[in-house]
Amino acid sequence: MMERLSGLLTAFGRSGLVLAYHDILPDRRAVYPYAVRESTFLRHLDMVQALGLRPVTLAEFTDNLLAGDASGLVAVVFDDAIVGVHRIAMPRLAERSIPWTLLPVTDRTGVDPDWWPEADRTMTRVEIAEALDSGAALCGHTATHVSLPDIPPAKALDELRRSRETLSAWAGREVRDLCYPFGHHTSDVRQLTRDAGYRCGYSFTNGRCHPATDPFAQPRLAMHEELSPAKFLATVIRPRCTWPPVRDLRRQPPAVNA
């Protein structure tokens, strides 16, 4: 069956997949939104391998996407660098020699994330260095996890530029890809992202990445605990044309009580 499915994936043309995880939890823990238990995460990795997809860092994925062909590639990424990724995902990925990508919020290391009250603390600088030693690559996610459309352009540019420079110094190589915090972006934010030296911007809208899509409005796939192997399979083989297009997205204003 898997051979047939693997063959099916070749029908996806030049598109590829970015799997967006957040926290990875021990199986005994209660899950919260966007956190995934270890056994679920491992089943996802099993499926990736069974389907014959080739895991690469997001930087290598973007290299291929911008060169016109990301077919057969998958990038496993972890938004916000939550400590469960260091404790659980990192050794599992190393065991399987799977390249992966971490998205630290550069001014918010080793703290409880103020943008996500349910989550565990973020990784410390030492833990991020250990992740780099273990084979992780880094990707931009701003300095403070601000919603970029909500702030003045000069401040947004500073968030984007400063975090890119910091991550590039930590990684010892230039970081040029960004995932927008909360997936929020507008045409102005996409232009600021380009101005800040990035070459690509990934949203939090579900879909397959394709070279014909605006490089600053690429989709990802949100990973969560309810993605059983069957649902995970249905998600990764879902044709690109059936996903909604990536659109401008910003924080909704609070509802006004009548």
Give the count of residues interacting with Zn ion (CB under 5 A). Answer: 3
Q: How far is the CB of 52 from Zn ion (least distance, A)?
A: 30
- Which residue has the CB atom at the shortest distance from Zn ion? 79
Residues 6+ apart with CB under 8 A from 232: 43, 44, 47
Q: How far is the CB of 180 from Zn ion (least distance, A)?
A: 9
250 touches 150 (CB < 8 A): yes
- Return the number of the residue (132 or 146) whose C-beta is nearest Zn ion: 146
- Return the number of the residue (61 or 78) whose C-beta is nearest Zn ion: 78
- Return the number of the residue (53 or 246) whose C-beta is nearest Zn ion: 246
Q: Does 120 bind Zn ion (CB under 5 A)?
A: no
Q: How many C-beta atoms surround the C-beta of residue 104 within 10 A?
A: 29
183 touches 204 (CB < 8 A): yes
Helix 153-171 crosses helix 125-133 at what angle (to 10 degrees)? 50
Consecutive H or E run containing 36: strand 36-37
- Return the number of the residue (23 or 38) whose C-beta is nearest Zn ion: 23
What region, left, alpha or beta, does residue 172 occupy, with left being phi > 0 and alpha being psi -120 to 50 degrees? left
Q: Which stretch binds Zn ion (CB under 5 A): 27-35, 72-80, 123-131, 160-168?
A: 72-80
Distance CA 14, CA 109 (A): 36
Q: Which stretch binds Zn ion (CB under 5 A): 27-35, 52-60, 79-87, 227-235?
A: 79-87
- Return the number of the residue (12 or 34) whose C-beta is nearest Zn ion: 34
- Which of 38, 79, 159, 177 lies at the binding interface for Zn ion (CB under 5 A)? 79
Q: How far is the CB of 222 from Zn ion (least distance, A)?
A: 11
Distance CA 103, CA 81 (A): 6
Q: How far is the CB of 104 from Zn ion (least distance, A)?
A: 10
Distance CA 112, CA 121 (A): 4
73 touches 30 (CB < 8 A): no
100 touches 86 (CB < 8 A): no
Q: Does 38 bind Zn ion (CB under 5 A)?
A: no
Q: Which stretch binds Zn ion (CB under 5 A): 25-33, 73-81, 186-194, 239-247?
A: 73-81
SS3 (DSSP) at 74? strand
- Return the number of the residue (12 or 78) whose C-beta is nearest Zn ion: 78
- Strand runs (DSSP E) across 132-229, as ranges? 136-138, 177-179, 200-206, 218-222
- Which of 23, 38, 80, 127 lies at the binding interface for Zn ion (CB under 5 A)? 80
- Return the number of the residue (80 or 177) whose C-beta is nearest Zn ion: 80
Site map for Zn ion, 175-194, x if CB under 5 A? ------x-------------
Residues that bind Zn ion (CB under 5 A): 79-80, 181
